[in-house]
Structure 1
Amino acid sequence: MIDDLNLFASQLVTLWVVLEPLSHLSLFLSTTSHLDRKERHKAAALGLLFAFLILVVFTLIGRLLLEAMGISVLAFQISGGLILFYFSMTMIFGDMTSHPVEPDADRGFAALAVYPLATPIIAGPGAILAMVLFSDNNRGAPLYQHIITVVALTAMMTLLFVIFWLGDYISKAIGQSGASLLRRVMGILLAAFSVNLVLNAFQKWLGLPEI
């Protein structure tokens, strides 16, 4: 029971760091700025649903897809770690809100929910990499551990929906400086996570002691 709770907690924290709700909130608000409140809520619901389905698909067949393309999980882990590290540097040293996504007044909430909300904002490279690694770690594990991974993803998508729903209030409450501070803290955690991914891949490849 304790091991299952630890698995759930570790995966939830990883998804929190990778998805970084406040950065996604700023992108969500800038992308849907031309929509009214009701349409914005619909866009959030659809976008998160589509992102959830994309991530579940990669959880189920991500490993098979890599094998079909002749890509090892370790190579995918290293490349993903490098991409996440670069992204974490932009979170720490760059202001991601300085170049917001330009709203397109000609696109409705359904079109925005697919692109760019579902992908690449929510179901981006970091989230996809995390789900593939979760799936690989659960290989050969009992079915309930795979269910725990899906439950962790569901919990994270629900939390994101609540944050998007309350986006206007949260943005006013913490202000731009507060959002910038939290984004940089999340960037530091993401940098450590990405470095750990690369080091673990080399540890497994070279047969070195665990880090």
Structure 2
Amino acid sequence: MNQSTALFVGTFTTLLAIINPLEAMPVFLKLLANKDRGTHRRVARLSCFYATLLLFFFLVFGTLMLKLFEVPLSMVRIVGGIVLMQIGFSLFMPSGNAGAMAGGPAGKDEDIAFVPLAMPLMFGPGAIATVLGMASQVQRPLEDLLPLGAITAAILATMVVTYLFLAYAGTIVDRIGARGIDAVTRIVGFFVAAMGMGLIFHGLDQAIHDYGLVRP
């Protein structure tokens, strides 16, 4: 598997696991209670659009900021891995607070499309860590356009899948039920934690060599 394919698969699977549309669906349905299907699809489309813009902003300017402040890529991987591990554990052992975000007043559809749907449900610390962690694996971002294109394609594919889950949230929830969503969320949390641990080990390995802590 070449670098571009690995980046696409890694970014797509990790982002999809972090966003976890199955966990977002109950919140989405509660915020849009008593709304028609057309409104559901419009809000799902808006929220995914906002989240996509935020992801691309951090893909471009997040990498530039790291270079500007001379933050080593190894540190990005380590910190990103820690964040992913924390999110993975919280998904694997949910505290029951995930639905609390939907308890407030719904407000306008456009407002809830941005907060809390796009941010922080879709775009949060885990998504930021994933994008920066994957981008950190491109050693020459201004020259290696194909790997960056793979990350871009993975972001778009993730948001398309997320939109489909939200647009048909009512049907999916009726089919698999609350227990099914809980089971899938726990499984996803386990793999997110494992992905985070992998990023940490890659970051530590790179830091050990970059800082000359071991002899070649």
Query: Quick check: TM above 0.5?
Result: yes
- For structure 2, the 5+ residue unaligned runs are none
What letter matches 1:49 in structure 2?
F
Q: Aligned pairs, how many?
A: 208
Give the Cα separation in 2 of the matches to 1:44 and 1:98. 19
Q: Determine which of 189, 195, 198 is the counterpart of 2:197.
A: 195
Structure 1 residue 103 displacement after superposition: 4.5
Give CA deviations for 1:30-56 in whole Å, capped at 9, x if unaligned.
Answer: 333364432222111111101101101
SS of residue matched to 1:12: helix
Q: 1:106-121, aligned counterparts within 5 Å?
A: 107-121=107-121
Q: Given the superposition, is the C-alpha separation of residues 95 and 145 from structure 1 closer, same or farther in structure 2, using an over 3 Å criterion?
A: same
Partner of 1:186: 188
SS of residue matched to 2:33: coil
1:62 aligns with 2:62: yes
What letter matches 1:83 in structure 2?
V
**Does the 8 Å CA contact 1:33/1:103 hold for their aligned counterparts?**
no
Give the Cα separation in 1 of the matches to 2:154 and 2:144. 16
**Does the 8 Å CA contact 2:85/2:197 hold for their aligned counterparts?**
yes
Partner of 2:37: 37
TM-score (norm 1): 0.87
Structure 1 residue 104 displacement after superposition: 4.2
SS of residue matched to 1:100: helix
Which has the larger displacement, 99-108 or 170-179?
99-108
Give the Cα separation in 2 of the matches to 1:63 and 1:183. 30
**Does the 8 Å CA contact 2:41/2:167 hold for their aligned counterparts?**
yes
Give the Cα separation in 2 of the matches to 1:197 and 1:144. 22
**Does the 8 Å CA contact 2:52/2:155 hold for their aligned counterparts?**
yes
What letter matches 2:83 in structure 1?
I
Give the Cα separation in 2 of the matches to 1:32 and 1:188. 30
Q: Determine which of 174, 177, 189 is the counterpart of 1:175.
A: 177
Q: 1:124-139, aligned counterparts within 5 Å?
A: 124-139=124-139
Structure 1 residue 29 displacement after superposition: 2.3
Q: Determine which of 153, 161, 171 is the counterpart of 2:155.
A: 153
What letter matches 1:129 in structure 2?
A
Structure 1 residue 110 displacement after superposition: 0.5
Give CA deviations for 1:97-117 in whole Å, capped at 9, x if unaligned.
Answer: 664323444511111111111
Structure 1 residue 136 displacement after superposition: 1.9
Q: Given the superposition, is the C-alpha separation of residues 12 and 150 from structure 1 closer, same or farther in structure 2, using an over 3 Å criterion?
A: same
Superposed CA RMSD: 2.3
What letter matches 1:78 in structure 2?
I
Q: 1:67-106, aligned counterparts within 5 Å?
A: 67-69=67-69, 71-96=71-96, 99-105=99-105
Give the Cα separation in 2 of the matches to 1:161 and 1:62. 25
Q: Determine which of 186, 206, 209 is the counterpart of 2:208.
A: 206
Q: 1:12-51, aligned counterparts within 5 Å?
A: 12-33=12-33, 35-51=35-51
What letter matches 1:52 in structure 2?
T
Give CA deviations for 1:118-177 in whole Å, capped at 9, x if unaligned.
Answer: 111101111111111222212325312211211111111001101101100100101111
Q: Given the superposition, is the C-alpha separation of residues 196 and 122 from structure 1 closer, same or farther in structure 2, using an over 3 Å criterion?
A: same
**Does the 8 Å CA contact 2:11/2:131 hold for their aligned counterparts?**
no
